[in-house]
Structures are given as C-alpha cells and as structure tokens.
C-alpha cells in the first residue's frame, strides 16, 4: 500500500463516518417527514378519499420546487437556515440540513408513486368494511406497497450518497471532501481512486441490502 494511502487511513475512517452520518440524517428525515408527506400527497390527489385540488396543487408545487434545485445550489441557498439549525455552515451536520430538505421532497414523490401502484379494489374493500383513513393507510396502503417503498428508499440512499460527496466540495466533510483535498488539489490520483472505489462498494452494499429486504417483504 502506498505511503500516502497508509498515512490517510485515519482520515479515511473519519471521512467515511461523516458520509454515513450525513446519509443517516438525510434518510431519517426522508422517512419521518417525507413519508407522511408522500402519503398526504396521495390522499389529496384527485379520486382519493381526501381529494382536494387546491391543497394537492400547493403541496405538489412545494415538493417540485425543492426537487428542481440542483443540490449544490440548494446547499448554498440554505446556508442562512443551516446556520440557524446547525449553528454552522460547514461540516457534516451542516451539510445534512440541505441534504434532508432534498431527501424529504424526493422521497415524498417516491412514496406517492408507490402508493398509486396499490390496486384500487383493495382500498375500496377496506372502505366498505368500515376501516378508518388511518387504518387504510397503515394496514392497506403501506402494507401493500412496502416492497416498493424499500426499493424507493434504496434508490434514495444511493442518490444521496453521491449528494453527500458533492457536499464535501463546499466544506461538508466526508469522502467527497477527502477526494477533493487530496485527489484533486494535491494530484494524488491513488487517493481519488481509493475514494471512488469506497463509494462503489457502499453503493453495491446498499443496493444488495435493499434488494434482499424488498424480496423478503414482497408477498405477491
């Protein structure tokens, strides 16, 4: 192993931890906030039980607006809010703020799309048996769509792994920051190759785990 790689191993461990921290915060925000938002979008859409065109249009517009921002621009645009929430505009915790905003909007649309795949007849049967809206959401919609939702979360995790690397360009820390500082600015190609290889391994592990869990949950 080249000497510069060996010397960087402690920093590589720290950078990997920072990347996983950013990813974990973003995914938690996506599930806890983006998931309910996606369910609400579905329920408010035309033809559903809580259909409301004005509310659906407003929520859809907000979600689409956030999703339309390239992540690097969103990261910079949210700097004032990031300072309020995280107390700083640099570091992995600061980078997790715009990452969470993007993840919430992204996952909300994925949830909405997956719920649309649930057969209409199943929902109508639940209504006919007197199930409440909460029971239909928990015991019908989410249960029927659970395999697709796991795959959606897998896609989100892989996409935002690359976003976390982008955050390193503007001081967000993580593997991207390490690649830029050593692999690009110092022309250490071996460091760049190592960081890319590490990201590839992480993507493969996330995809493998997501696929395995989705197959396990798919009862069709």
DSSP 97-166: HHHHHHHHHHHHHHHHHHHTTS-HHHHHHHHHTT--HHHHIIIIIHHHTHHHHHHHHHHHHHHHHHHHHH
Task: State the pLDDT at residue 157.
Answer: 92
Q: What is the pLDDT of residues 12-51, one digit of tens each?
A: 888 888 888 888 999 999 999 999 999 999 999 888 878 8
DSSP state of 27: H
pLDDT (mean) for 56-69: 91
Task: State the pLDDT at residue 156.
Answer: 92
pLDDT (mean) for 86-113: 88
What predicted TM-score, i.e. pTM, was given to this entire model? 0.87
118: pLDDT strictly greater than 70: yes
Domain ranges of the chain: 3-217
CATH topology of domain 3-217: MetI-like fold (1.10.3720)
Q: Which tokens in the block code for residue 189?
A: 């190609």
Task: State the pLDDT at residue 176.
Answer: 78
């Amino acid at each position: 192993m080249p000497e510069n790689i060996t010397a960087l191993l402690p920093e590589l461990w720290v950078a990997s931890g920072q990347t996983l921290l950013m990813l974990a915060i973003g995914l938690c925000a996506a599930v806890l906030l983006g998931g309910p938002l996606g369910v609400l979008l579905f329920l408010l859409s035309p033809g559903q039980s809580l259909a409301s065109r004005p509310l659906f249009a407003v929520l859809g517009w907000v979600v689409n607006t956030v999703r339309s921002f390239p992540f690097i621009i969103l990261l910079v645009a949210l700097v004032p809010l990031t300072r309020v929430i995280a107390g700083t505009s640099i570091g992995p915790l600061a980078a997790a703020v715009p990452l969470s905003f993007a993840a919430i909007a992204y996952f909300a649309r994925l949830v909405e799309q997956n719920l649309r795949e649930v057969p209409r007849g199943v929902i109508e049967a639940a209504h006919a048996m007197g199930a409440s809206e909460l029971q239909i959401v928990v015991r019908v919609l989410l249960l029927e769509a659970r395999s697709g939702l796991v795959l959606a979360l897998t896609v989100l995790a892989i996409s935002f792994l690359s976003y976390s690397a982008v955050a390193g360009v503007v001081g967000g820390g993580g593997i991207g920051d390490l690649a830029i500082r050593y692999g690009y600015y110092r022309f250490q190609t071996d460091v760049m190759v190592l960081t890319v290889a590490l990201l590839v391994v992480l993507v493969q592990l996330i995809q493998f785990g997501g696929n395995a869990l989705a197959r396990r949950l798919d009862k069709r």
